[in-house]
């Protein structure tokens, strides 16, 4: 899987080649950012770019860190490249340099440099970069492999069982076919947690793990923040909302956690979420099994995989709740709102209620059911029924 061609991400890099834009790849550890940079560098070499005009630096390497701070690293980069000639600069693991935004700003001002950055746990740092270079950054979140990517190059067409296996396991590049999945994944996540999060003196390891266990056991569920504050606090002393949200934000910035706020529909409109009821998903589906004490159902696995796919395609995802029930996902709020209901099988116990919740949702929304059994749903002019397997294989937002 390490050689998997990730077409959408490569198109992002190629489309912005030689433009006055800083290209930024962000996302959780192990999602494939470094491999994407290597593939792009290979493409540049194949297209005739001389070796001395390509510079790749891993800022986590001790040899590179000896050239910190950013002023010294800046001078070193200039010394490595031919003066006055077009060059391509790749800085990986940029979160290791506290002031990487200033370094990027300085390099960007040299017009013949084409700059590409990659790193994890850098959401807060990116705000500094976009402030220094407003309108001059193109940021793309790299998620683990999509099902379409894992199925590419198969000799036989993928089946429903292959989609279930994908949803139940890890989709990190290099882990999809690993036998020792949990031990390998645990190594990656431990590095992310203790290197990127627990370096923050304001975060306590014990509380972080307690929150992760709660999230794993309630992944995909609609969670009231007040209930979570009670469950993760001490006996009789709920966790302060400010503290809980700080931990959740840090997990999100590390690329580990996807947060789906709930929109309460009361009058047919789609108001802004109030943040008091939320659903949480993991960027990699197997993560929940590392911290949860209970097994996951088929629906939970598929729901997590669907959430990641929607984030990959649309960038922002919400969920909608009304008196008629919960609709799993809402996308495109400010364009054409689309409501997505995941009902794996027509005979699922909650299928009738979820179908009715979708019918009762605002008529201004496009409504889609994702299912393995499209034949089980009655015809309804306002609802599109999509088979799960082809929908996952399309992999592009233009195809609903």
Q: How confident is the model at residue 289 (pLDDT cuts 50, 70, 90)?
A: confident
The answer on pLDDT for 279 being more than 90 is yes
Tell me how far CA of residue 269 lies from CA of 215, 278, 303, in angstroms.
Answer: 30, 19, 25
- Summarize the confidence of residues 353-376 as an average pLDDT: 93
Give the percent of the chain with pLDDT over 90: 67
Tokens representing 133 are 């270079």
CA–CA distance, 219 with 56 (Å, rounded to integer)? 38
CB atoms within 10 A of CB 235: 5
- Summarize the confidence of residues 61-74 as an average pLDDT: 95
Sequence-ordered list of residues with C-beta below 8 angstroms from that of 92, at least 6 positions apart, any chain: 33, 34, 37, 56, 57, 58, 59, 60, 118, 119
pTM: predicted TM-score of the whole model, two decimal places: 0.91
Domains of the chain (ranges; CATH) run 7-141 (3.40.50.300), 151-394 (no CATH)
- pLDDT for the residue 217: 93
The answer on pLDDT for 341 being more than 90 is yes
Residue keyed to tokens 């700080």: 246
Helix (H) or strand (E) holding 138: strand 137-141
- Summarize the confidence of residues 166-193 as an average pLDDT: 78
The answer on pLDDT for 180 being more than 80 is no
The answer on pLDDT for 200 being more than 80 is no
SS3 content of the chain, % helix, strand, coil (to 5): 40, 20, 40
The model's pLDDT over 292-318, given as tens digits with 9 standing for 90+, comes to 878 889 999 999 999 999 999 999 999
- Which of 115-119, 259-263, 367-371, 391-395 is the least confident region? 391-395
Q: What are phi and psi of 251, to 5 degrees?
A: -65, -40
- pLDDT for the residue 179: 58
Radius of gyration of the chain, Cα coordinates, nearest whole angstrom: 22
- Which of 100-104, 229-233, 237-241, 284-288 is the least confident region? 284-288
The model's pLDDT over 6-65, given as tens digits with 9 standing for 90+, comes to 889 999 999 999 999 999 999 998 899 999 999 999 999 999 999 999 999 999 999 999
- Which of 64-73, 138-147, 186-195, 272-281 is the least confident region? 186-195
- pLDDT for the residue 198: 67
- Summarize the confidence of residues 273-291 as an average pLDDT: 90
Q: Where are the alpha helices (DSSP H) in the chain?
A: 7-15, 33-46, 62-65, 70-80, 100-108, 123-132, 147-151, 160-168, 181-191, 205-217, 225-232, 241-253, 287-291, 298-314, 351-359, 388-394
Q: By C-alpha distance, which of 300, 309, 368, 307 is closest to 337? A: 368
The model's pLDDT over 119-177, given as tens digits with 9 standing for 90+, comes to 987 877 888 899 999 999 999 999 999 999 988 878 889 999 999 999 998 888 877 66
- pLDDT for the residue 3: 57
- Concatenate the DSSP letters of all residues of 255-269 into one string: T-EEEEEEEE-SSS-
């Amino acid at each position: 899987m390490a050689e998997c061609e990730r077409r959408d991400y490569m198109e992002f890099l190629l489309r912005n080649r030689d433009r006055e834009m800083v290209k930024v790849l962000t996302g959780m550890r192990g999602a494939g950012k470094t491999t994407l940079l290597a593939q792009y560098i290979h493409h540049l070499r194949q297209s005739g770019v001389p070796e001395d005009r390509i510079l790749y630096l891993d800022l986590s390497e001790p040899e590179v860190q000896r050239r910190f701070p950013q002023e010294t690293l800046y001078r070193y980069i200039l010394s490595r490249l031919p003066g006055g000639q077009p060059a391509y600069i790749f800085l990986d693991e940029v979160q290791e340099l506290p002031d990487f935004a200033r370094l990027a700003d300085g390099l960007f001002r040299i017009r013949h440099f084409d700059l590409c950055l990659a790193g994890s746990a850098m959401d807060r740092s990116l705000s500094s970069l976009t402030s220094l270079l407003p309108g001059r950054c193109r940021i793309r979140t790299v998620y683990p492999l999509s099902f379409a990517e894992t199925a590419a190059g198969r000799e036989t067409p993928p089946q429903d069982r292959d989609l279930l296996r994908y949803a139940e396991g890890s989709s990190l590049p290099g882990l999809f076919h690993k036998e020792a999945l949990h031990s390998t994944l645990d190594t990656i996540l431990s590095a992310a947690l203790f290197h990127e999060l627990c370096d923050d003196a304001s975060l306590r390891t014990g509380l972080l793990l307690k929150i992760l266990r709660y999230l794993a056991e309630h992944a995909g569920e609609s969670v009231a923040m007040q209930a979570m504050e009670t469950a993760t606090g001490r006996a009789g002393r709920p966790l302060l909302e400010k503290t809980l949200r700080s931990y959740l934000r840090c997990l999100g910035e590390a690329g580990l956690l996807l947060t789906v706020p709930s929109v309460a529909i009361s009058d047919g409109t789609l108001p802004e979420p109030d943040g008091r009821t939320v659903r949480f998903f993991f960027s990699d589906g197997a993560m929940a099994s590392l911290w949860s004490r209970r097994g996951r159902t088929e629906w939970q696995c598929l729901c997590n995989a669907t959430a990641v796919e929607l984030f990959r395609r649309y960038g922002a995802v919400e969920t909608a709740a009304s008196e008629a029930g919960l609709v799993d996902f809402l996308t495109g709020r400010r364009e054409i709102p689309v409501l997505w209901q995941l009902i794996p099988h027509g005979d699922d116990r909650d299928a009738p209620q979820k179908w009715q919740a979708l019918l009762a949702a605002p008529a201004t929304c496009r409504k889609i059911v994702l299912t393995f059994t499209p034949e089980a749903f009655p015809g309804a002019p306002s609802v599109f029924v999509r088979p799960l397997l082809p929908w996952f294989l399309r992999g592009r937002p233009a195809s609903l």
